[in-house]
Amino acid sequence: MRTPPSWRRRERVVGLAAVVPALILVLGLMLYPIGYALFVSVFDTNGISFDFVGLDNYITQVFSPLLHQVFFNNLVFLISVPLVILASVVCSVLLYERIRGWRAYRILFFVPNVLSTAVVGLMFKTMFAYDGPVNAGLTAIGMPRTDFFAGAGSAMSVIILALVWSGFGYQTLILLSGLGAINPEIFEAATVDGAGWWRRLWHITLPNIRRSVALVCILNVLFTFTSLFGFIFVMTAGGPGYDTTTLDYLIYLEAFPSDGNIGPGSALAILTFLFIGILTIIQLRFFRVGSAED
């Protein structure tokens, strides 16, 4: 029995009406700011007066030594990606096998993800402060106190540790969903055939969750380039110098300078937006090719 045309039109209208609120949010909170940033990026402006400069802001940013240094900082922070993946794979497998207390562990692992980056950053800043509990523990075992935020290497290490701690719980849930899609009979058959835990992990578990691992990798790479502002702002303010400054924090510094010119900051934001888009496409193609070859 065919649906009458009037009913189809009514369903279409209802569907469009349901989409309109989300569409308004997308246009108002995403497309308009992007369009305005693109407009402002070709001006030297304080928001009131506009002096057209064309692509000068983009050229200045591309050839800026500071931008090159900050981009390298982001590459260093990518060290957190394999660490998060390793921690989430281990935890998800153990939770999937329902070790003792697995329900409580599942909640504990996810709790850091509920906290904002600013809260996590403040926690780690307090813990690794010169008079914080970590240094108190070091002195208790006879080691000297360390000013973790005085050097680039130690400051980056603390930030990477915060990234791993705050992010692996959510990634664990993603991998758990992938593990839940595996037929349990496969593990039972492998156990009957004499496959040990490690052989099941390498030959059954990991191959079957490779797409989930790929998703986790993509999300963490994007997070490293776009969402470290809260950590940097609270923990180091980009210091010492610019040694822990990231792209998103540099956009903040460029967008609110002492001279009030927000044009260069907008240009940097657009360049970062384009870079993230290209990086996402490259990652999607890479993981798609890898799946096709399998």
Among candidate residues 46, 60, 66, the one with its CA nearest the CA of residue 258: 46
pLDDT value at residue 280:
87
Q: What is the pLDDT along the chain (294 residues), one digit of tens a residue?
A: 555 667 777 778 887 888 888 888 877 788 888 888 899 999 998 878 889 999 999 999 999 999 999 999 999 999 999 999 999 988 888 888 877 777 787 788 888 888 888 899 999 999 999 999 999 999 999 889 999 999 899 999 999 999 999 988 889 989 988 888 888 788 778 777 777 778 877 888 888 888 888 889 988 999 999 889 999 999 999 988 899 999 999 999 988 877 778 899 999 999 999 999 999 888 888 877 444 444
pLDDT value at residue 149:
92
pLDDT value at residue 3:
56
Among candidate residues 283, 164, 169, the one with its CA nearest the CA of residue 222: 283
pLDDT value at residue 100:
79
Angstrom distance (rounded) from CA 261 to CA 42: 12
Q: Respond yes or no on whether the N-terminal peptide bond of residue 240 is cis (omega within 30° of 0).
A: yes
pLDDT value at residue 4:
62
| Joined tokens for residue 270 | 């657009």
pLDDT value at residue 186:
81
Angstrom distance (rounded) from CA 8 to CA 15: 10
DSSP classification of residue 281: H
pLDDT value at residue 242:
93
Model confidence over 123-137: pLDDT tens digits?
Answer: 999 999 999 999 999
Based on C-alpha coordinates, what's the Rg of the chain? 24
Predicted TM-score (pTM) above 0.75: yes
Model confidence over 34-87: pLDDT tens digits?
Answer: 888 899 999 998 878 889 999 999 999 999 999 999 999 999 999 999 999 999
CA 245 from chain center: how many Å?
16
CA 151 from chain center: how many Å?
24
Q: Are the beta carbons of 253 and 245 closer than 8 angstroms?
A: yes
